[in-house]
Amino acid sequence: MRVEVVAIGTELLLGQIVDTNSSWIGQQLAAAGLNSHYQTKVGDNPARIQAVLAQALDRSDAVICCGGLGPTQDDLTRDVIADLLGVELELDEAIADRIRLMFTSRGRTMPENNLRQAMVPAGSRIMDQQPGTAPGLVCPVPDGPLGNGEGEYGSAEAGTDRVIYAVPGVPYEMKEMVNGTVIPDLVARSGRPSVIRSRVLRTWGASESGLAETLAGRIEELDELGNPTIAFLASGVEGLKVRMTVSASGESEALDMLDKEEALLRQLIGPIVFAVDDDNMETVVIRALGERGLSLAVAESVTGGYIAGRLCAVPGASKVFRGGVVAYHPEVKTSVLGVAEGPVVTEEAALAMAEGVRQRLGADIGLATTGVAGPDEAEGRPVGTVCYAIAGLDAAGRSTDAVGTLQLPGDRERIRQFSTISILDLLRRRLADTD
């Protein structure tokens, strides 16, 4: 089963909107064991959209068409699909009623333009999911010539059972339809009885090439076996991901295979693995603090509130996170946190900040950062210098004090972001060391 993704919208070509939909769909296809060799972006032009869809159908079994299902005149997906398939658009009264109800339930009158969204290519099926006003479409592709009926785009081999899926460009609407209808339908069409499952290990502290070298032996073994498979995904400040994918005859067998492969990879990779699947660095740290009955406070200079922001994004963080102080100016470091007069981009200053915020906010552990984000060096320290400190006691009354200095690459924003996840990772490891 070969699947192609076509994203529609002139705004994508102009860079006004970043096409995150195609990458997300690609991830879901890979996780389901479905082959996807092409992704295309095309503007709001009917001739070019039709040409792109025809080309996609010529080389793929299924096309996921994303965008162009809105109510305005430049939303052309329905019209182009109908024209390409040689069928008429028909008003689906049930969809029209559903759209009207969405407006009336909010105390609004539906513009007549929205009835365009209830026009469906004849022979198409409406997806069950409809979180917005745009319904998703499952459009079977007939055998024979496409387009004008005279073979303008050529003909496909009889019996190929091709299909076009049309989903909205609004991400949350698209995701609900892809997960609810598109992926299950594609898996069923592929005729594969096996269960495809994936699991992602998140790592921090190794390069992609370094991690590939560490896993070279296992990769060679899996290349021979063909199942499971592993792949790398560099995700910037979210770490380097290692995705395991297995094919099995059933759910329990798939999970057992994933468990065994995860255990083997963890043994090879070591402690740089910090999370699995949807967990991230902050959820892991918050959970570790909660399990140990410890509270945390942060004092931030170079990171400017990034650490506190990430921690506060975790539901239930208030159970362990006391709060933070953004001590950006040296005077704030001295007057609020008790840092001694003198240089502030030092490990000594970082430790004083950590201890100061721990005491003032009544936390078990204090975490602090100070450094040089650029663009110019400061106190004779080069751009990218970050001093950190962890101060306090663990649940058993043992000292958690730790200090260090990082030298990070990148511009001002990347230095702040890399500092944040690097220092949270150091806290994660420190908490693990106190077990």
pLDDT at 149 over 60: no
Q: For 28-43, what is the mean pLDDT?
A: 89
Strand partners, 89: 121
Q: Going by C-beta distance under 8 Å and a sequence separation of 6 or more, which residues neighbour residue 180?
A: 127, 128, 129
Separation of first and last alpha carbons in the chain: 49
Report d(CA 44, CA 430) in Å as an integer: 53
204 and 240 fall within a common domain: yes
Q: For 329-339, what is the mean pLDDT?
A: 96
50 and 182 fall within a common domain: yes
246 and 335 fall within a common domain: no
Q: Which among 69, 52, 62, 60 is positioned nearest to 13, based on CA atoms?
A: 52
- Confidence band of 45 (pLDDT split at 50, 70, 90): very high
Per-residue pLDDT at 155: 44
What's the distance, CA 158 to chain centroid?
39
16 and 116 fall within a common domain: yes
Per-residue pLDDT at 143: 79
- Confidence band of 152 (pLDDT split at 50, 70, 90): low
pLDDT at 156 over 70: no
362 and 307 fall within a common domain: yes
Tokens of 418: 């890399």
Q: Quote the number of domains for the chain.
A: 3
Q: What is the DSSP letter of 172?
A: H
402 and 302 fall within a common domain: yes
- Confidence band of 434 (pLDDT split at 50, 70, 90): low
The pLDDT mean for the chain works out to 91
Domain boundary (223, 246, 276) is at: 276
Q: What is the CA radius of gyration of the chain?
A: 27
428 and 308 fall within a common domain: yes
Domain boundary (130, 162, 190) is at: 190
**250: CATH:** 3.30.70.2860
**158: CATH:** 3.40.980.10
84 and 186 fall within a common domain: yes
181 and 307 fall within a common domain: no
53 and 183 fall within a common domain: yes
Per-residue pLDDT at 183: 92
Helix residue ranges per DSSP H, 1-108: 10-13, 20-31, 46-59, 77-85, 93-104
Report d(CA 297, CA 286) in Å as an integer: 12
Per-residue pLDDT at 310: 96
248 and 294 fall within a common domain: no
Range of the structural domain that residue 234 is part of? 195-276
Per-residue pLDDT at 394: 75
Hunting for tokens 């200053």 — which residue is that? Answer: 349
Per-residue pLDDT at 148: 52
| Digit-coded pLDDT (tens) for 169-207 | 999 999 999 999 999 999 889 876 567 788 999 999 988
**400: CATH:** 3.90.950.20
| Digit-coded pLDDT (tens) for 389-402 | 999 977 777 777 89
Determine the 3-state secondary structure of 327 from DSSP. coil
Domain boundary (190, 210, 230) is at: 190
Own/partner contacts of 121-126, CB < 8 Å, gap of 24 or more, are 121/78, 121/81, 121/82, 121/85, 121/87, 121/88, 121/89, 121/90, 122/82, 122/87, 122/88, 122/89, 122/90, 123/85, 123/87, 124/81, 126/92, 126/94, 126/95
- Between 262 and 155, name the one with better pLDDT: 262
DSSP helix, strand, coil percent of the chain (3-state; round to 5): 40, 25, 35
The one-letter code for the residue type at 350 is A
| Digit-coded pLDDT (tens) for 67-126 | 999 888 888 999 999 999 999 999 999 999 989 998 988 888 888 888 889 999 999 999
Per-residue pLDDT at 435: 56
| Digit-coded pLDDT (tens) for 274-301 | 999 989 999 999 999 999 999 999 999 9
Report d(CA 384, CA 414) in Å as an integer: 9
326 and 264 fall within a common domain: no
Q: Which among 138, 180, 167 is positioned nearest to 66, based on CA atoms?
A: 167
